[in-house]
Amino acid sequence: MNIYETSSIGKLISGNPYVGRGIVTGTSANGKYAVNAYFIMGRSANSRNRIFAIHDGSVFTEPFDASKVVDPSLIIYAAVRTYENNLIVTNGDQTDTIYNGLKEGISFKESLETREFEPDGPNYTPRISSISTFVGKNYKYELSILKSIDEEGSDCARYTFSYNSKPGLGHFIHTYVTDGNPIPTFQGEPERVSIPDDIKEFTEDLWENLDEANKISLYVRYTDLESGEITEELINKNK
């Protein structure tokens, strides 16, 4: 086994019924773009009743049909926010924890020390987060997962992975291994992903290989590292 092998995002998720929520962060093959992606999947009617919406440069989850919302606490949140030269992407309201921490001079990792996995036993859904920090034409990124240390949810294990950007290389972290009851939590390091230069190619590869029954929404952002220009793709299954 080659531990440095990279795979397309489509190859990594194809045929898997439920990887849950996922974040990809990395750099296009030509080294020109910082790449960030976030998607959500859902099994329950409450989880599936969502869309992504962009407001003032931030991405939010919103109910597709507000009349059918049962419990908004874990499904409605800001998923993508920017603070100064930092881009934050998460699967929950820890986005705001990180954002407010940066304003107070608190690091990404330190802010997440105050949070833990979601209180949705027996699954105890992990909280996954990323931050991309831009300095001139260069950037680095960190990925984090907060997950239960045991089946009872008695304590939280916190892992942070830090990377310098490398052309063509991305890292993929997601909440679950696959479907199950309870759903098995993501294991190990973030998976290595090859990142193409074209945002539409990457978006289509990701969206088309997510399980048709369970996929809900996808957001992809390519940031030009020289000009700062942002290109976005957003897909909602609910239209």
65-81: burial string, b at 16+ Cβ within 10 Å, e else: eeeeeeeeeebebbbbb
Chain segment 168-191, per-residue pLDDT in tens: 999 999 999 999 999 999 999 999
- Whether the per-residue pLDDT at 198 is higher than 80: the answer is yes
Calpha distance 108→88 (Å, rounded): 9
- Average the pLDDT over each of 22-31, 42-51, 66-75 and give the range with the smallest value: 66-75
> Could you read off the pLDDT of 117-166 as tens digits, one per residue?
999 999 999 999 999 999 988 899 999 999 999 999 999 999 999 999 99
- How many Å apart are CA 175 and CA 90, to the nearest integer? 11
Determine the Cα–Cα distance for residues 172 and 194; give it in Å rounded to an integer. Answer: 10
Which pLDDT does position 73 carry in this prediction?
Answer: 78
Cα dist. 204→112, 121, 213, 220 in Å? Answer: 32, 33, 17, 10
C-alpha distances (whole Å) from 70 to each of 13, 20, 59, 76 are 29, 19, 22, 11
What's the distance, CA 220 to chain centroid? 10
**pLDDT value of position 1:** 62
